[in-house]
Amino acid sequence: MNIVMFGPPGAGKGSVSAFLVGEFSYPHIAAGDIIREEARKPQNKVRAYMEKGELVPDTVIMQLVGSRLRQPDCREGFILDGFPRTIVQAEFLERQRIPVDIVINLEVDEDAIVDRLSGRRMDPKTGQIYNLNTMELPEGVDREKLVQRPDDKPEVIRKRIEVYKKQTSPVIEYYRERNVLLNIDGNPELGQVVGSVREALQKVRE
């Protein structure tokens, strides 16, 4: 089963994907991670877009994600997180005959998005994500050692939300028309959101 995780930045796509990986053992393919890896290469063309909070050009991301999805580990299914983010990208999947069986659309209020993104920090050693605004740090985690993603700064957050509204949200309608959309309230704490996703998926698979 091919699953797309959809929603605005900070909706919890990565966290819900981690749950789905445990449930299905499919690979988790996060477009943002692919772009961050690309951005580490010398003379890359993607870092400037990312740092401004803009989408990288469709052709670039389609090539990167397309070749990842053609790897053998994706044959049984995948959890695709952060792609498609434009209608052009959604059409690309269709053209490449990569079916999308379910789109989990996490709906989150704008205030909560800003709160979550501005508090988001990563442990550079483990890659674990924490949130200073919405959770207590577990014992042993040193707040001072956590780092903030450069695009989680307030002015870039605003830009990313604007980009989501303009370029990405039309994709919801695209998948609604194809009857694969599952809307999930992404506002509650993670455990509750995961519960709703599990329930909705069960209904679909019955």
Would you give the DSSP letter of residue 188?
S
Q: Which residues between 83 and 102 bind ligand AMP (CB under 6 A)?
A: 83, 85, 89
Residue 113 binding ligand AMP, by CB under 6 A: no
What is the spatial distance between Cα 168 and Cα 113, in angstroms, rounded to a whole number? Answer: 15
What is the spatial distance between Cα 91 and Cα 104, in angstroms, rounded to a whole number? Answer: 18
Amino acid at 104: I
Residue 4, beta-bridge partner list: 80, 103
Q: Give the residue closest to ligand AMP by C-beta.
A: 32
Q: Which long-range contacts (CB under 8 A, 24 or more apart) does 161-165 make?
A: 161/8, 161/9, 161/110, 161/113, 161/114, 163/53, 163/54, 163/55, 164/8, 164/9
CB of 92 to ligand AMP, least distance (A): 10
Active site residue 70: no
Q: Which residues between 156 and 175 bind ligand AMP (CB under 6 A)?
A: 160
Contact window for ligand AMP (CB under 6 A) among 80-88, 108-116, 126-134, 175-183: 80-88
CB of 153 to ligand AMP, least distance (A): 12
Active site residue 158: no
Distance of CA 108 to the CA centre of its chain: 13
Contact window for ligand AMP (CB under 6 A) among 19-27, 52-60, 66-74, 176-184: 52-60
Residue 152 binding ligand AMP, by CB under 6 A: no
Which residues would be at the binding site for ligand AMP (CB under 6 A)? 9, 31-32, 35, 49-50, 53-56, 61, 82-83, 85, 89, 151, 160
